Structure 1
Amino acid sequence: MVRHMSEAALQAIAEPRRREILRLVRDRPHSVNEIAERFDISQQAVSQHLKVLREAGLVTVQPSGQRRLYAIRTEGLESVRELLAELWPARLAELKRVVEDDRC
């Protein structure tokens, strides 16, 4: 499950606008219109990006009157963090080995 979610999350955040959307909704929820105002793309394009982020488990949506507010779902990033934590020690061990080899 973690691998599947991390793959979906990684694919979702691979797109630069989606990363910007995540940064935007990190501090407070925003509506599609509020998000679209920050980009030079259509509201429909923003809605598509939000759909990808939602399906990857990276944002939540809450109805608020006539609007739907999008907020970051930090739990969705946990699978990405776990994947990076799994890969990172191996790279650090390799770096340590190279540095130690260079000293000799």
Structure 2
Amino acid sequence: MILSEKKISKTMDFLVNKMGWDSKMIASRPSVIFYNLENRIIPRCSTVHFLFSRELIKKKEVKLSTVLVPTEKYFLEKFVTKYEKQVPKLYDFYQGKIGIEEL
């Protein structure tokens, strides 16, 4: 599969500028660029970013590969189900059914 320059740019922009991940970290796991931005990268990163903002997890303890590479089941267990008591609507947020203001 060949990636377009536009897709690479959009993905890098999101990961570096919106999420604050270091470009060197992304370069060490270039396979993450192949993931679908709208269906995998944005939902997972937005969920983790929310957890950072509530100080439920610390950014330095979470690697990019831990967020984007694992299976859906693993991601949900580690970053959604684990925090359902503190944030009951986190799964709905992850699925894009509600906005961050509704959490």
Please report the TM-score for the alignment, with normalisation by the length of structure 2: 0.25
**If the length of structure 1 is used for normalisation, what is the TM-score?**
0.24
- Higher relative contact order (Cα pairs below 8 Å, separated by 6+ residues): 1
